[in-house]
Amino acid sequence: MTANIKKSIYSLIYNCAYADENSKGLIISDSHTQEIGNLIIQVADEENINFTHLIIEPFMIHGEEPSSEVAQEMLKYDIVFGLTKMSMAHSKARLAFSEIGGKYLSLPDYSMNVLASPALQYDFRELIDISSKIANLMTNGKEIRLLSQKGTDLRCDIQGRYGNPAPGCCFDKGIISSPPDSETNIAPIEDKSNGIICVDGSIPCAQIGLVKSDAILHIKDGKVFDIEGEYKDILNKLFDDVGEKARIVAEIGIGLNPLAKLCGSMLEDEGCLGTAHVGIGANSTIGGKNSVPFHLDHIMKDVTIYIDNEMIIKDGKILLD
Partners of 299 in the beta sheet? 202, 277
Give me the mean pLDDT over the 12-25 stretch. 95
The candidate with the shortest Cα–Cα distance to 256, out of 273, 239, 279, is: 273
Task: Read off the pLDDT of residues 241-261 as tens digits, 9 standing for 90 and up.
Answer: 999 999 999 999 999 999 999
Domains contained in the chain, CATH given:
3-116 (3.40.1830.10), 126-176+183-318 (no CATH)
- Is pLDDT of 62 > 80? no
Strand order of the β-sheet with 223-228 is 223-228, 215-220, 193-199, 153-157, 143-147, 304-307, 310-314, 317-318
Angle at 92 between CA 207 and CA 31, to 5 degrees: 50
Query: What is the reported pLDDT for 197?
Result: 98
How far is 65 from 50, CA to CA, in rounded Å?
26
Please report the beta strands in 69-181, taking only residues with DSSP state E, as ranges in sequence order.
Answer: 79-82, 103-106, 143-147, 153-157, 164-166, 176-177
How far is 289 from 287, CA to CA, in rounded Å?
7
Task: Read off the pLDDT of residues 145-168 as tens digits, 9 standing for 90 and up.
Answer: 999 999 999 999 999 999 999 999
pTM: 0.89
- 83 neighbors 104 (Cβ within 8 angstroms): no
Q: Name the more confident of 91 and 279.
A: 279
